[in-house]
């Protein structure tokens, strides 16, 4: 729980409402979080992954009452990702074991179709036994200053939470990097090409991903 | 030529892998070129070079130990600590890591900067009034990593959470204030006419040495 204790590692963003964003964000927060709440992986289904919002202090709860969501001017919640993985070598070993028993019993090796059928039932059995791997990334949102922090070390995780927040709340999260700061200060892109004397060569700033 | 070998040669020709003379149509890219290409892409992606120029500028500015910006009417000073990672796109070296108490201000690092490498990742100590924050920053996203916040004063759990969030946001705001100060300088006319030449002089060790000041500050930090 990095917001509450532990390593202080987070990515920083400024929240900018998109078109269609709710006018009273604070009132709609709980509703939006519930709409995209975490739901555990359905064991009988084929899905290997589930992700969604959870309460900060109770990762199994998705009720988001005001008391669990608001801390002063902050809204605090988590983004939970569960994954079930059936290890390939374990699956292979189980299928081989079954194939050996099959041959002993029937005096012939199983056909390709029989093997495939067994593989899928073994996979399901291993899935039922496997414990999902759970990761929760905290989100702190200052509703007054409209600064949002995603408390995650991996960039892949940050991108996933960012996308969930942007889609769910109909907002744009602008990273607090020099290019975005320059854009907000009204500085034109042409004034911010790479400095040849510092990087040791002339270069055009042709690759941009639109943060600025 | 056997039938199978002939068929293989024909298939390679049909795919466009080889010409009529049987020689490869495309030369394999040199490994060094591939490496430089990747480094170049990383530099330009999302204007990461601005982040690197920012950290390099900050290193240069921080050496004197003076107040760099004002935040909430109190001065902010910066000191680079321990490990620093440099990245570049020209020359044979595209990444260099230096470790040591005063590594960021060392002659070796300054020489590397003079050869076109820029600071990509560094550990900083930011002092704002009585409060001191330590943080690792990388140039591409300026994410806060493994930060040490000032000691919490509150005793109740809820108040401690709010205080921790407040300090985290203060740290973020300090960095943002430094970024804005850099962007204002970077977009001005003085950047190419005065700032960059002064930075280059410093990298080459041509300006008056201020090493003593940095060493004194580092000693003070260790005493804390």
Q: Where in chain A are the domains?
A: 11-85+130-176, 88-129
Q: Which one of B113, B161, B189 would you mutate to disrupt binding with A, by most A Cβ within 10 Å of its Cβ?
A: B161
A170 three-class SS: coil
Q: Over the stretch A62-87, which tens digit does the pLDDT of each residue have?
A: 999 999 999 889 999 999 999 998 88
For the cut 60, the answer to whether the pLDDT of residue A46 exceeds it is: yes
Is position B77 within any domain? Answer: yes
Q: Do B143 and A178 touch (CB under 8 A)?
A: no
In this complex, how many residue pairs, one in chain A and one in chain B, have their CB atoms less than 8 Å apart?
Answer: 153
Q: What is the pLDDT at residue B86?
A: 95
Are B145 and B138 in contact by the 8 Å Cβ rule? The answer is yes
Are B115 and B216 in contact by the 8 Å Cβ rule? The answer is no
The Cα–Cα gap between B189 and A158 comes to 36
How many structural domains comprise chain B? 1
Of B118, B187, B192, the CB nearest to A182: B187
Q: What percent of chain A has pLDDT over 90?
A: 55
Domain membership of residue B164 as a residue range: 47-223
Q: What is the pLDDT at residue B26?
A: 65
* Predicted ipTM beyond 0.85: no
Q: Over the stretch A191-202, which tens digit does the pLDDT of each residue have?
A: 888 898 898 876
Is position B19 within any domain? Answer: no
Predicted TM-score of the model (pTM): 0.80
Q: Do B118 and A3 touch (CB under 8 A)?
A: no
Is position B12 within any domain? Answer: no
Between helix B157-187 and helix B48-62 the angle, nearest 10°, is 90
The Cα–Cα gap between B209 and B219 comes to 18
Q: What is the mean pLDDT of chain A?
A: 88
Q: What is the pLDDT at residue A120?
A: 87
Query: From the first residue on, what is the mean pLDDT of each consecutive set of 10 residues in chain B (224 residues)?
Result: 78 78 70 76 80 96 93 95 90 88 92 93 95 95 94 80 92 95 93 94 77 56 54
Q: Which chain A residue has its CA at the smallest distance from B86's CA? A: A199
Helix H or strand E encompassing A12: strand A8-17
Between residues A18 and B113, the one the model is more confident about: B113
DSSP B90-157: SSS-SEEEE-STTGGGSHHHHHHHHTT-EEEEEEEEEEETTEEEEEEEETTT--EEEEEPPPP---SH
Q: Do B144 and A9 touch (CB under 8 A)?
A: yes
Paired tokens of A132: 């999902």
The Cα–Cα gap between A65 and B210 comes to 56
Helix H or strand E encompassing B219: helix B211-223
Is position B131 within any domain? Answer: yes
Q: Which one of A77, A178, A183, A208 would you mutate to disrupt binding with B, by most B Cβ within 10 Å of its Cβ?
A: A178
Q: Which residues contact B78 (CB under 8 A, 6 or more apart)?
A: B58, B61, B62, B68, B124, B125, B126, B127, B178
Paired tokens of A156: 């892949």
Is position B161 within any domain? Answer: yes
Contacts of B145 in chain A (CB under 8 A): 9, 153
CA B125 to chain centroid, in Å, comes to 15
Q: Do B47 and A185 touch (CB under 8 A)?
A: no
Q: What is the pLDDT at residue B27?
A: 63
Across A34-48, A157-171, B21-35, least confident range: B21-35
Q: What is the pLDDT at residue A211?
A: 42
């Amino acid at each position: 729980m990095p917001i509450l204790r532990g390593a202080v590692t987070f990515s920083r963003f400024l929240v900018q409402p998109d078109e269609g964003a709710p006018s009273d964000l604070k009132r709609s927060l709980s509703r939006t979080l519930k709409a995209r709440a975490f739901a555990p992986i359905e064991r009988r289904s084929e899905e290997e992954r589930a992700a969604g919002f959870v309460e900060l202090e109770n990762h199994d709860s998705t009720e988001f009452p005001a008391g669990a969501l608001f801390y002063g001017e902050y809204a605090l919640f988590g983004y939970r990702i569960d994954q079930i993985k059936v290890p390939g070598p374990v699956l292979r070993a189980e299928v081989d074991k079954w194939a050996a028993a099959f041959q002993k019993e029937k005096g012939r090796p199983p056909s390709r179709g029989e093997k495939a059928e067994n593989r899928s039932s073994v996979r399901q059995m291993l899935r039922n036994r496997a414990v999902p791997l759970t990761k929760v990334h905290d989100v702190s949102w200052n509703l007054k200053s409209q600064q949002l922090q995603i408390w995650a070390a991996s960039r892949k995780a940050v991108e996933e939470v960012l996308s969930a927040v942007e889609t769910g709340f109909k907002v744009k999260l602008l990273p607090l990097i020099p290019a975005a700061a320059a854009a907000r200060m009204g500085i034109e892109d042409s004034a911010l090409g790479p400095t040849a004397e510092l990087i040791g060569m002339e270069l055009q700033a042709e690759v941009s991903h639109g943060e600025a | 030529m056997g039938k199978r070998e002939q068929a293989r040669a024909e298939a390679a020709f049909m795919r466009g892998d080889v010409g009529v003379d049987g020689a490869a149509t495309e030369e394999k890219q040199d490994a060094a070129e591939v490496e430089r290409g990747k480094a170049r892409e990383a530099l330009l992606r999302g204007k990461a070079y601005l982040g690197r120029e920012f950290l390099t500028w900050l290193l240069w500015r921080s050496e004197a130990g003076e107040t760099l910006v004002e935040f909430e009417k109190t001065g902010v000073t910066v000191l680079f600590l321990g490990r620093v990672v440099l990245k570049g796109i020209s020359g044979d070296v595209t990444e260099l890591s230096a470790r040591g108490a005063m590594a960021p201000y060392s002659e070796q690092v300054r020489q590397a900067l003079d050869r076109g490498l820029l600071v990509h990742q560094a550990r900083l100590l930011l002092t704002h009034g009585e409060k001191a924050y330590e943080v690792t920053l990388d140039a591409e996203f300026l994410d806060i990593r493994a930060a040490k916040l000032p000691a919490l004063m509150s005793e109740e759990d809820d108040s401690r959470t709010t205080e921790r969030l407040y300090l985290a946001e203060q740290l973020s705001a300090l960095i943002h204030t430094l970024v804005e100060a850099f962007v204002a300088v970077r977009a001005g006319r003085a950047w190419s006419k005065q700032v960059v030449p002064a930075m280059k002089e410093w990298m080459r060790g041509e300006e008056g040495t201020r090493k003593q000041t940095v060493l004194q500050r580092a000693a003070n930090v260790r005493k804390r």
